[in-house]
Amino acid sequence: MAATPSQTSAPSGPGTEAPPPETTLTETVISSRPDRRFVQALRDLWAYRDLFAAFVRRDLTVRYRQTALGIVWVVLQPLATGGMFAAIFRRLGVGGDGPVLDSLLFFLAAVVPWMSFSSAVGSCATSLESNANLIAKVYFPRLCVPGAYVAGSAVDYGFAFLVLVGFALAAGAFTPWLLVAAVPLLAMQLLTAAGVGTFFAILDAQYRDVKYVVPFVLMIGMFLTVLVRPGQWGETAGMLLTLNPMLAIAETYRALLTGNPVDWALACKGAVVACAVFVGGVWFFRFRESRLVDVL
């Protein structure tokens, strides 16, 4: 009869150490298929959502800790900019010829979302360069870095939006639809900021002069958003200008505050363009992400 191999068991006793417990490792899948880059980016963000939340908390902590003005600066900046626009361009017939408070509200409706958008894009543009040491040491979805700045900008927008609501109440132009519309309009704003910001971030990682171009582009975009009205620049130029999702956001806020009908065609076009910008920006980021460590 063949002998049955005996099973040896680990020795046990007072001087024997217990085997270490099994640890569950997070599986990271890196796909090189072009048609899966965008989907894989969203999956990575979800898998590393705790790390993403930590980046958001770090950004907000650095921004508001040990500051003299803090939240006051977030409120003061759009208020001062909107007041400047009202004082200068009201004389040129932009913003209406009614009460000064109405003109200020007209410009605040565009300046408040634009300031939040501009802050998010500007921070995203230099985010990879400023976190180069961390990126070179450990792997994590690089999209977490610029994405955290976009998510953090929603907090700034919340404080500035309260100022817009306060002036709407003071001018007698407040409507509950303003609060209802704020949610989808903020989502459109964040999608646009994420797409544009990630595009500039991955370019700045290789071409360091991009960070000098971004402020100029944002300045031009502010004038095209705050001062441009649809239908004033001819058919061809007007069609191109209405591709700006931030213009659609500003015009929707203005329509709600003045009681005019909302231009749903412009709003829907802005939403479609915002989604396209987001997908394109994330896809371009993932396309160039493989060489990120080498160029930083």
Token pair for 266 = 């412009």
d(CA 192, CA 274): 5
Q: What percent of the chain has pLDDT over 70?
A: 82
Residue 15 lies in a domain: no
Q: What is the pLDDT of residue 162?
A: 92
**How many residues appear in the chain?**
296
The candidate with the shortest Cα–Cα distance to 96, out of 242, 257, 267, is 257
Q: Is 278 exposed, middle or buried (0-12, 13-18, 19+ CB in 10 A)?
A: buried
Least trusted range by pLDDT, from 57-71, 103-117, 184-198, 242-256: 57-71
Residues 275, 191: Cα–Cα separation, whole Å: 6
* Domain of residue 159, residue span: 35-77+109-295
Ramachandran region, residue 93 (left: φ > 0; alpha: ψ -120 to 50; beta: rest)? left
Q: How confident is the model over 109-133, as a mean pLDDT?
A: 93
Asked if residue 26 belongs to a domain, the reply is no
The answer to whether position 95 is within a domain reads no
Q: Is 172 left (phi over 0), alpha (psi -120 to 50) or beta?
A: left
Comparison of pLDDT for 113 and 92, the residue scoring more: 113
Closest CA to 50 of 144, 119, 117, 120: 144
Domain membership of residue 24 (yes or no) is no
pLDDT score, position 296: 63
Residue 14 lies in a domain: no
Residue 6 has pLDDT above 70, yes or no: no
Q: How do residues 209-258 score in pLDDT, each as one tens digit?
A: 898 999 999 999 999 999 888 777 777 887 888 899 999 999 999 999 98
Is position 180 within any domain? Answer: yes
Please report whether residue 102 resides in a domain: no
- Mean local confidence (pLDDT), 35-49: 81
Q: How many domains does the chain contain in total? A: 1
Which among 93, 107, 270 has a CA at the least distance from the CA of 195? Answer: 270
Three-class SS state of 296 = coil
pLDDT value, residue 143: 92
Q: Is residue 4 part of a domain?
A: no
